[in-house]
Amino acid sequence: MMLRIQRTIWTKDLLGMEIDMKILHITTHMGGGAGNAISDMILLDRKNQHRLICLQGCEKRQFIDRCLERGICVLEQPDASLEAEEIGRADVVIMHWWHHPVMCGFLARFPEIPCRLVLWSHISGCGYPILHKSFVALFDRVFFTSPCSYENPEWQSAEIEEIRKKSDIVYGLGNLEALREEWPLRQAGEKFVVGYVGTLGNAKLNERFPEFCMEVIGRIPQVRFLMVGDLADAQWLLKEIAHKGLEEYFAFTGYCTDVRKQLAKMDVFGYPLNEKHFGTTENAILEAMAAKLPVVALRQNTEKYIVSHLKTGMLVRDKREYADAIHALYRDPELRKTMGEMARAAVFEKYSAQRNVEAFRTGLECVRQKEKRSVHFEAQCGKQPYEWFLSGLDAAEERWFRDSLESGRKKEAAEEHIRTCMPILRAKSKSSVFQFAEYYPEDRVLRGWRDIMEKGERR
């Protein structure tokens, strides 16, 4: 049975203390990194009172349960009238965005109620799903979870400066404080373990990851790769590993709730991601750094803002440099130790939970000075589900999908492009065509794009 605070209790918290602002969070769900970050911020910020609307039922309930245990009001799949009532009563409404199909549907029917709106973007917005300037303009303030969001290729220099003035960096941190206790020293083993924690789909992991690993194997025959993550999106990787005859070099744990235990088995944290991934805070890197593991990552996106080259890890450009870096760390245990200790110190200094809460509160104070106003998302996001999907594409990619709705050679060329478009659009989740079609099966345009992709997969 769900616990709820009565709707009228907005003036004091459960301890009877006066609260500053009434903050309403609206999120699709509370799974994964976003759920961890949202629940942590809610529980750490006792200056303001927080309430939470989950638009979707939550399968993984650990973060919802954390909130309920502390007396936070959580409303799951409320009806439209209750949503509108909560929005109207809040001082500030925070929309947690990663372009999920359910959130898109909610924005399309957003109630005409004056409010102050903050967009908390849990993805970079630099690739798909792209964060358009016109969408940002609808909000009173924006919280980015990495400075890399300011590198959005669609924004002009003047627009970037304008957005900087109305935004803050508020990291999507997990509970790093729980990692402060000393970690057990790893006993040197027969194998040299390069670990990875996170999504195993090729929308996140670099599509050439097996080639990266082969380069390392060529230098360090006794290397082993420990892969920690849900196997649901890993079929492409398992297939490639088998095709290259590399099975003996890999161990897969599946989804793991005790990541500490797996990190303790690793010598190095190898994290070569897809160049178009949308990650930002990357808690997997931060947890590895807290575990005194040197990180080897590509010099791109948010990674270059987290890893300090030759201090807390190594940033590389390609598979050869990746292998060079891991080989250097393999040959020099003292270098691994020094980098690991610097990584741990850096992560607790830069990603302080208290500092993050202060940035969050500062942003909210700016919003409180503004008048409430009605906001309409339809013009930016569209009316139909297929248009909601398109609103996350850049102009060039959107043109291909729209051309597929034409006829003749233009349609044929567009369909061929869609069959082999970027992996994230063909994934089973991650705001892909398949995910949008799953949530909105009545939309014939989405079904058509899904069918084109399925035919491409059968080729």
Q: Is residue 290 a part of any domain in this protein?
A: yes
Q: What is the pLDDT of residues 83-131, one digit of tens each?
A: 999 999 999 999 999 999 999 999 999 999 999 999 999 999 999 999 9
pLDDT band with cut points at 50, 70 and 90 for residue 459: low
Give the tokens for residue 150: 């300011």
Give the tokens for residue 335: 């270098």
Domain assignment of residue 197, given as a range: 178-350
What is the side-by-side strand order in the sheet with 295-298?
250-254, 223-228, 192-197, 268-271, 295-298, 313-316
Q: Is residue 64 a part of any domain in this protein?
A: yes
Residues 163 and 91 reside in one and the same domain: yes
Give the number of domains in the chain: 3
CATH number, domain with residue 272: 3.40.50.2000
Q: Is residue 240 a part of any domain in this protein?
A: yes
C-alpha distances (whole Å) from 376 to each of 80, 119, 394 are 16, 14, 21
Q: Is residue 218 a part of any domain in this protein?
A: yes
Residues 116 and 73 reside in one and the same domain: yes
* Residue 259 confidence (pLDDT): 87
Residues 35 and 84 reside in one and the same domain: yes
Distance CA 36, CA 114 (A): 29
Distance CA 198, CA 367 (A): 34
Distance CA 448, CA 386 (A): 10
Residues 272 and 369 reside in one and the same domain: no
Distance CA 276, CA 284 (A): 18
Q: Is residue 2 a part of any domain in this protein?
A: no
Q: Is residue 17 a part of any domain in this protein?
A: no
Q: What is the pLDDT of residues 297-306, one digit of tens each?
A: 999 999 999 9
Q: What are the two backbone dihedrals, phi and then psi, of residue 50, each rounded to the nearest 5 degrees? A: -120, 140
Q: Is residue 12 a part of any domain in this protein?
A: no
Q: Is residue 16 a part of any domain in this protein?
A: no
Q: What is the pLDDT of residues 148-160, one digit of tens each?
A: 999 999 999 999 9
Residues 168 and 38 reside in one and the same domain: yes
Q: What is the pLDDT of residues 27-77, one digit of tens each?
A: 999 987 889 899 999 999 989 999 999 999 776 788 999 999 999 999 999
Give the tokens for residue 221: 């025959």
Give the tokens for residue 62: 């650990």
Q: What is the pLDDT of residues 158-197, one digit of tens each?
A: 999 999 999 999 999 877 777 777 666 666 667 999 999 9
* Residue 369 confidence (pLDDT): 93
Q: What percent of the chain is modeled with pLDDT above 70?
A: 93
Give the tokens for residue 420: 């082999």
Residues 153 and 207 reside in one and the same domain: no
Question: Looking at the predicted structure, is the pLDDT value of residue 9 above 70?
Answer: no
Residues 88 and 224 reside in one and the same domain: no
pTM over 0.85, yes/no: yes
Residues 209 and 314 reside in one and the same domain: yes
Question: Looking at the predicted structure, is the pLDDT value of residue 15 above 70?
Answer: no
Residues 303 and 202 reside in one and the same domain: yes
CATH number, domain with residue 361: 3.40.50.11380
Residues 143 and 194 reside in one and the same domain: no
Residues 243 and 204 reside in one and the same domain: yes
Residues 197 and 321 reside in one and the same domain: yes
